[in-house]
Homo-oligomer: A and B are copies of this chain.
Amino acid sequence: MELIAGGVCAPKGFKANGIHCGIRKNRTKRDLALIFSETKAKAAAVYTTNLVKGAPLTVTKSNISDGTARAIICNSGNANTCNANGIEIAERTCEALAECLGIDACDVVVASTGVIGQPLDITPIKQGIPELVNGLDYNKSQQAAEGIMTTDTRLKEIAVEFTIGGKPVKIGGIAKGSGMIHPNMATMLVFITTDCAISSEMLQKALSTDIQSTFNMVSVDGDTSTNDMVTLLANGMAGNQEINCEGDDFNTFMKALNTVTVHLCRCIAADGEGATKLLECKVTGAKSEGVAKTVAKSIVCSSLTKAVMFGADANWGRILCAIGYSGAQVDVNKIDVAFKSPKGEICVCQNGAGITFSEETAKEILLENEIEICVDLKDGQFASTAWGCDLTYDYVKINGDYRT
């Protein structure tokens, strides 16, 4: 398997585009994105668990209930959530796009991201669709990725190539993240494409399994969005024998998919609102997978741990504290904690108590912008990783006045 260029357009038969249609006032910011498959694709998706759901999710769920889709349209600047006419707007968006593309409206995945509770005017979307469709190209993954960004500061895109039964197969993905991201309840906006031939059932299984250890293990701020979803389209154009059961081919696909999703998770966490650091918490020695996950998530979600990381302060008591209130049953007197970065590794706590360490070395390690928090529970064989970011002045600034 190797990393390749092209994002969601890397797999055969996928075009994309992103334009400014006028939902956002800033004319230099793209606000409408499209991904299109030349042939009908199998479709899988996972959605936020928030009871307050964006109208586009309801429409998408219905549209892909037959397990297929051909296009994904997504606007930024307005979430189309908590609006009386939200469903109607989402449906009309699908219809307008379908007409222009000459496809069925039921083959459109629709998504929105932005402010909640402000009516979404369909006019700029309808006016923008012809330009969006006419501009579709095999090299415009980046434009689509830009079109779905909100407070994101960096483009999130990846593609990989691998082989199944001797045929080259590709998976590409784009994502938008930043705020309102919390594990195990929601995800974020992620659109993944592949030319792999795979049944709808196995595609959904692959996605639902993968997110348990990827998108559900990312936290920026503990808030679970109303609009998040991960969608995966597979158009089969790689020409491999269709994967319709578990086995070697499915495992190969899962491994490649995981490379894509882990990369996007790291991108989302590193670009968390206001973040200066990516935090990767690796918990080992847990007596169950549940314990490992609970502990890892509790640490990356702790405001105090996040603030301490911003300050590059080796205050490991915050980590022990977050483990202690996680709800997981652990023996606190066995826990080891170490910090790791490109500058080195330092153990700061052994058997649940402090040990002597060089504050200077610790500071040097923690001043890097990718930090591993390594926790060994010494209580079993299970492990888990969670991703998060530090809590900074800029998080407060970005969210203190998001709408203006």
Q: Give chain B nearest CB distance to A303 CB in angstroms.
A: 4
Question: Do residues B324 and A226 form an inter-chain contact, with CB atoms below 8 A?
Answer: yes
Question: Do residues A396 and B399 form an inter-chain contact, with CB atoms below 8 A?
Answer: no
A2 within 8 A of B: no
Q: How far is the CA of A45 from the CA of B371 in the complex (A)?
A: 40
Q: Which residues of B contact A392 (CB under 8 A)?
A: 396
Question: Do residues A221 and B180 form an inter-chain contact, with CB atoms below 8 A?
Answer: no
Question: Do residues B311 and A399 form an inter-chain contact, with CB atoms below 8 A?
Answer: yes
Which of A21-29, A95-103, A138-146, A312-320 lies at the interface?
A312-320
Question: Do residues A332 and B396 form an inter-chain contact, with CB atoms below 8 A?
Answer: no
Other-chain residue from B185, B310, B320, B398 in contact with A325 (beta carbon distance below 8 A): B185
Q: Give chain B nearest CB distance to A324 CB in angstroms.
A: 3
Question: Do residues A302 and B50 form an inter-chain contact, with CB atoms below 8 A?
Answer: no
Q: How far is the CA of A186 from the CA of B83 in the complex (A)?
A: 38
Question: Do residues B83 and A399 form an inter-chain contact, with CB atoms below 8 A?
Answer: no
A222 within 8 A of B: yes
Q: How far is the CA of A352 from the CA of B86 in the complex (A)?
A: 12
A246 within 8 A of B: no
Question: Do residues A320 and B116 form an inter-chain contact, with CB atoms below 8 A?
Answer: yes
Copy number in the complex reads 2
Q: How far is the CA of A313 from the CA of B399 in the complex (A)?
A: 9
Question: Do residues A223 and B324 form an inter-chain contact, with CB atoms below 8 A?
Answer: no
A400 within 8 A of B: yes
Question: Do residues A50 and B325 form an inter-chain contact, with CB atoms below 8 A?
Answer: yes
A322 within 8 A of B: yes
**In the complex where A117-B353, A325-B186, A396-B392 touch, is A313 in contact with B51 (Cβ < 8 A)?**
no
Q: Give chain B nearest CB distance to A301 CB in angstroms.
A: 8
A262 within 8 A of B: no
Q: Which residues of B contact A398 (CB under 8 A)?
A: 307
Not counting A51-B332, A180-B321, A222-B222, a sample of 17 additional A-B residue pairs whose C-beta atoms are within 8 angstroms of each other reads A52-B321, A52-B323, A82-B320, A82-B354, A118-B354, A119-B354, A222-B303, A223-B303, A226-B320, A226-B324, A303-B303, A304-B399, A308-B399, A308-B400, A311-B401, A391-B396, A393-B397
Q: Show 13 residue pairs from A and B whose CB-CB distance is below 8 angstroms, ordered by the A residue.
A: A52-B320, A52-B325, A82-B352, A82-B353, A116-B321, A118-B354, A222-B301, A308-B402, A310-B400, A311-B399, A311-B402, A315-B403, A391-B399
> Which of A's residues lie within 8 Å of B, judged by CB?
49-53, 79, 81-84, 115-119, 179-180, 182, 185-186, 221-226, 301-304, 307-308, 310-311, 313, 315-318, 320-325, 329-330, 332, 349, 352-354, 391-393, 395-404
| A-B pairs, 3 with minimum CB distance | A116-B317, A311-B400, A52-B324
